[in-house]
Amino acid sequence: MKPNFLEIIDINKKFGNINALKNVFLNVSKGEVICIIGPSGCGKSTLLRTVNWLTPPDSGKVILKGEIIGSDTGKMTFEQNNSLNAFRARIGMVFQQFNVWPHLNALENVVRAQIVVRKIMRDEAEKKAIKILNEVGLKDKIDEWPDNLSGGQKQRLAIARSLAMDPILMLLDEPTSALDPELIGEVLSVLRNLVNEGMTMLIVTHELGFASRFGDKIVFMDAGEIIESGPPNTILKSPKTERLKLFLEKLSLTSL
Amino acid sequence: MLEYQIFFDYFPMILLGFWLTLKIVVCAIALGIPLGLILALGRRSNFIPISFFATSFIELFRNTPFIIQVFLFYYVLPFYGLRLSAEYVGILALAAFGSAYFAEIIRAGIDAIPKGQLESARAIGMTDWQSMKNIILPQTVSIVLPPLTNQTLTLIKESAILSTITVHELTMTGLMVQGETFRPFEVFIMVALLYWALNETIASIMRRIEKRYSRNRKQNKIVRSKIDIIKSSGFSR
């Protein structure tokens, strides 16, 4: 494992008067699976969105494979904008609300960005899309419109859409939170395959079971700060801070 | 009593006026809708000079009477060395007036698309324009078609005002025939029927296109409810 595949250095972000992120540092090695947990509004989604600059931070740097994503001065030049788009093409993002494209069928959802962003020929893009849709278990839904898919199927389609871009890093923002309980499993099993393939992932999740089994590291955030981070066993079994203890207690209460 | 001879004698002349109205309106719409799209995107731009210009243009043409705009175009442009025939001035004025409304309709359509659609397009590496072209605008088409049709019909009716700057379109021809025959009833019935026939034709074609669009894919419920909001907020036919 190479150290410092992704470096998040001193990220700050304010929304009005609220500190969404405060001096956040995070190092991620290649192939590492980081699960970010924390109460709602703690900034975990914002942290994820600063990595691909969907929400540009007020200050701080995000460095992927030694190169700065976005800019560290706040202003973007034309070249930085282009390189940002190139970065984003290699950083897969999966949203809580799926955000599949309803005017395109399942196949086209996976094909379109390959053609538009990576300039791949249609034949090749379709071949790849079919292969990936097969892998996420949507083989017989290729011609289907997103509106006719279940939540779990939509989320798997969204994951397939990202995978078609050959991502080197995946950002998953509560990928199972909008799903009916019986559909969570099918999405988690796709994610499990990704973990086994060695994909580097940042996952904001409430699935502590998944986090403890497949996460290499759990990061606990509260009020825009990283409070504790470490391997799942230490974080979940022996929390050091009061806030994490409280949070874990609440979670186990609700799961009763 | 109706004098039927008037219909036979003057219909060819009135038809000539109708033909000019048709040509003017087609040109104005062909110019106005692309210009409206550019203005709508311009208004949403982060680059302040562009959004300021687009917003000013839209608000200027939306908030002044069309007849005044026509006078300004017709009497002021020559002062700046732009001597155009009344027909071309009419096309420009109609296109400018229409584009302001088209722009607002298209902007409302873009705003009706859930924010996550643009975010997912940007997150996968598409540029702003690629996201618009591939993801956002195709989804707005079915939303904006009904109000765009509506605005087109309005534009056709507004073209009657061009008679005030000596464009020999349908209304102007009607006025002339009326002056010759002193039979306003027969003349303006012909004029009204021709406007009606044109608008009804366009409306029924668009109804068919709308139906095809909504049949082509089952629509997302969120978008559907937003369509209803747009329709009920004054754009309804």
Q: Are A149 and A157 in contact (CB under 8 A)?
A: yes
Tally of CB atoms within 10 A around A116:
21
pLDDT confidence of residue B217? 54
A154 domain residue, yes or no: yes
What pLDDT sits at residue B52? 97
The residue count for chain B: 237
Residue B7 lies in a domain: no
Q: What is the mean pLDDT of residues B37-50?
A: 94
Query: Under a CB-based contact definition with an 8 Å cutoff, are residues A165 and B125 in contact?
Result: yes
Residues of B in contact with A90 (CB under 8 A): 125
Q: Supply the DSSP string of B44-86, one letter for each residue.
A: H-SSHHHHHHHHHHHHHHHSS-HHHHHHHHHHHGGGGT----H
CB B165 within 8 A of CB B90: yes
Q: Which domain holds residue A63?
A: 6-25+33-254
**Torsion sign across C-alpha atoms A208, A210, A213, A216:** negative
Question: Considering only CB atoms, which chain B residues are within 8 Å of A88?
Answer: 122-125
C-beta separation of B217 from A103 below 8 A: yes
Q: Which of A86, A99, A100 sits opposite B119 (nearest CB)?
A: A99
pLDDT digits (tens, 9 = 90+) for B206-220: 999 888 877 655 444
Q: Which residues of A touch B (CB under 8 A)?
A: 52, 54, 85-93, 95, 97, 99-103, 112-113, 116-118, 145-148, 158, 161-162, 165
pLDDT at A4: 82
Average pLDDT over residues B149-171: 94
**Residue B22, domain member (yes or no):** no
pLDDT by position in tens, chain A (length 256): 455 899 999 999 999 988 899 999 999 999 999 999 999 888 999 999 999 999 999 989 899 998 888 877 667 788 888 889 999 999 999 999 999 999 999 999 999 999 999 999 999 999 999 999 999 999 999 999 999 999 999 999 999 999 999 999 999 999 999 999 889 999 999 999 999 999 999 999 988 888 998 899 999 999 999 999 999 999 988 899 999 999 998 887 665 5
Say if residue B229's pLDDT is above 80. no
- CATH code at A191? 3.40.50.300
Determine how many CB atoms are found less than 10 A away from the CB of residue B63: 8
Half-sphere exposure of A149 (CA within 13 A, CB side): 30
The string of pLDDT tens digits covering residues B44-89 is 988 899 999 999 999 999 999 999 999 999 998 888 888 889 999 9
For the record, the structure tokens of B88 come out as 């071309």
- Considering the domain boundaries, does residue B8 fall inside one? no
Total domains, chain B: 1
Let me know if residue A1 belongs to a domain.
Answer: no
What's the domain range around B152? 28-235
Task: Please give the average per-residue pLDDT across B133-159, as a whole number.
Answer: 95
The whole-number pLDDT of residue B219 equals: 47
Q: Would you call A113 and B124 a contact, using CB atoms and an 8 Å cutoff? A: yes
- Of A51, A152, A158, the closest CA to residue A112 belongs to A158
Q: Give the gap in angstroms from C-alpha A71 to the nearest C-alpha of chain B.
A: 16
Whether ipTM > 0.85 holds is: yes
CB-based contact B170:B109 (threshold 8 Å): no
- Rounded average pLDDT over B3-8: 87
The string of pLDDT tens digits covering residues B183-210 is 999 999 999 999 999 999 999 999 998 8
B118: domain CATH number?
Answer: 1.10.3720.10
What gap in Å lies between CA A185 and CA B142, rounded to an integer?
36
Nearest to A54 among B123, B126, B217 (CB): B123
| Mutation site for A-interface testing, chosen from B46, B110, B124 by largest number of A Cβ within 10 Å | B124
Decide if B117 and A101 are in contact by the 8 Å CB cutoff. Answer: yes
In a domain, A205, yes or no: yes
Predicted TM-score (pTM) of this structure: 0.85
Q: How confident is the model at residue B227 (pLDDT cuts 50, 70, 90)?
A: low
Q: Count other Cβ atoms within 10 Å, centred on residue A213.
A: 12
d(CA A231, CA A221): 15
Question: Is position B224 within any domain?
Answer: yes
Q: Give the count of domains, chain A.
A: 1
**Residue range B114-129: average pLDDT?**
95
The closest alpha carbon to B27, from B125, B205, B156, belongs to B156
Residues in chain A: 256
Whether residue A164 lies inside any domain: the answer is yes
Please report which helix (H) or strand (E) contains residue A226, including its range.
strand A225-230
